[in-house]
Chains A and B, each alone.
Chain A
Amino acid sequence: MRQLFFLCLLLSNFIHSQESSSLNKSSFSVDFGSLGNRYIYPKTDINFSTSLIKSSAFRVSARLRSYGTLYFFSKTAYDFTPLMEYYFTKTEQLLYFSAGIGLDARIRLVHDSRSSASSSVEPLLSLALHGNYKKVSYSVPLWTRWYTNGMSYAILPQINWELNNNALFIRYELNYLRISKNVSSEWSQDLFLGLRRSLN
């Protein structure tokens, strides 16, 4: 993991930068999904992202995911994911990196004796690859989450089509959940379509 971190740092210094300031902009996005593993199940995300201090390399973001709805309000389940990331660049480039830490709060509101789901909060580590080319930008975060009985990894590649202050995007999410003791694992996937707006 440490080698990967330094490799990211090294690569980011060699890449030619483009003049852009969108790293300092705040943005708001909404997206809708999802493909699911075996059937379609509605989910929605609201995401807000901003730089901590103007022209600093730190950004904070928070994502609220609602389950079982395309209308953002759910009576059954939410995930709340605040994240703080350090960007190894101050300007957008063809390729650059970020690393961050955060929390993943699973809020489960279902009261059904057939359910064993419960609310919890897990720490989250994010390593991400980003890039810009003309009207297209992309990001490929890799999230690692820790649980009492195992870990999960998620890769969330997202491609944005930039339109002035707005962007249309598509994001695929592939999760690998692993229980250590039983040596059991599960893959799951989601697909989201969304709209992002820069706020300043």
Chain B
Amino acid sequence: MKTTLKFLLFGIGIALFSCGKVPTSVPNQPISYFVGDFENGTVSGFHYLLVDTTNNTQIVTNPVRKGKYALKNILHPDDFTSNGYRTELAIYNSANFKSEAYYSFSFWVDSNYLDTAYNLVCQWQDLPYYLQGEDWTPSPTLHGSPPPISLTYVNNTIELKMNDNPSFSNQTFLVGEPLKIKKGKWYDVVAHIYWNDDKTAYQEISINGKFITPFNGVDYKYYHRNLFNRAGNYFKFGQYRGKNKSEHTNIIYFDEVKIGSTLNEVAL
């Protein structure tokens, strides 16, 4: 028994030198300032959620929102990867627990875009709570759902969709009114979001200077929980159609993708 006790005390001594941090997220960690304006003529700086950068992305000189280049984002009918039809570019460390952030980007729906079914042009996807042992691929998969927030292009409109239930795929809800979108025209999105897992979280989103979040009597902040856990979310843009296969190849252009801590940092 003395040996066991010595062994345990030795272990505790070791533990005192190998202690880690409390497995919960530290609030208000700074996000990474990010500018993705494609002016270096590449799609570098992003994380890819697409089949092939060559087939799904092109740097173009027309149309361009600002500068010389923009991104042509192409989703083919068979572009299925990471459990969905998608061609997305992602930015990590972009939506931290109890932090405030601004996001902006411009998009242009190609004149030949044919589908009317939903297509997410951007989303703030939840993350597994890594600190508490979670990962993307539990077995069996007991939860999986649409992201907490997304901007969805559907039937020639943009809708701000939120999801409150991480365990079901059919409980998204519309915030505000759908905004009519004309093809072949630039639209500038600015999102001001405070990330939290309680009702103090808010989102205030405008397109071409017009708020799509409803007026609350004071401002256009729509208060609703936007984190499923405290791991935070991350920002993605491009095209995502879930499991709905399209008959057509669809194109959307993007430019001036920015993430910052102030409105000035993301201004055009």
Contacts and interface: CB of A to CB of B under 8 A. Distances in A.
Interface of A: 37-43, 52-53, 56, 58, 60, 65, 67-71, 75-77, 79, 82, 84, 101-103, 106, 108, 110, 112-123, 146-152, 177-179, 182, 184-186, 188
A184 B27 contact: yes
8 contacts: A39-B142, A52-B4, A68-B139, A76-B137, A101-B8, A116-B130, A146-B19, A179-B26
B37 to A, nearest CB: 23
A179 B24 contact: yes
Interface string B94-114: 000000000000000000000
Interface stretch (B9-17, B60-68, B211-219): B9-17
Interface in B170-213: 197
Contacts of B137: 68, 76
B33 interface: no
Contacts of B142: 39-42
B21 to A, nearest CB: 5
Given A39-B167, A68-B133, 19 more contacts: A38-B166, A38-B197, A38-B228, A42-B139, A56-B1, A60-B4, A75-B135, A77-B133, A101-B8, A103-B15, A106-B133, A110-B130, A112-B136, A113-B47, A120-B20, A146-B19, A148-B19, A182-B26, A186-B24
Contacts of B132: 188
A-B pairs with the 6 shortest C-beta distances?
A: A120-B20, A67-B133, A115-B130, A77-B133, A68-B138, A76-B135
A112 B130 contact: yes
Contacts of A76: 133-135, 137
Interface of B: 1, 4-5, 8, 11-12, 14-16, 18-28, 47, 92-93, 127, 130-140, 142-143, 166-167, 197, 228-230, 234
Contact of B12 (A101, A106, A108): A101
A117 B25 CA distance: 10
A149 B131 CA distance: 14
A108 B130 contact: yes
Contacts of B24: 177, 179, 184-186
Contacts of A122: 15, 19-20
A119 B25 CA distance: 15
A4 B234 CA distance: 46
A58 B8 CA distance: 13
Contacts of A116: 130-131
A101 B167 CA distance: 37
Given A71-B139, A123-B15, A106 B23 contact: yes
Nearest to B234: A114
A114 to B, nearest CB: 5
A93 B16 CA distance: 35
A115 B142 CA distance: 21
Contacts of B16: 123
Contacts of B230: 186
A177 B20 CA distance: 13
A184 B133 contact: no
A72 to B, nearest CB: 11
Nearest to A119: B20
Contacts of A121: 11, 14-15, 18-20
Contacts of A67: 133-135, 138
A70 B139 contact: yes
Nearest to B21: A149
A61 to B, nearest CB: 12
Contacts of B127: 114
Contacts of A185: 24
A152 B138 CA distance: 25
A67 B18 CA distance: 22
A91 B12 CA distance: 29
Contacts of B11: 82, 103, 121
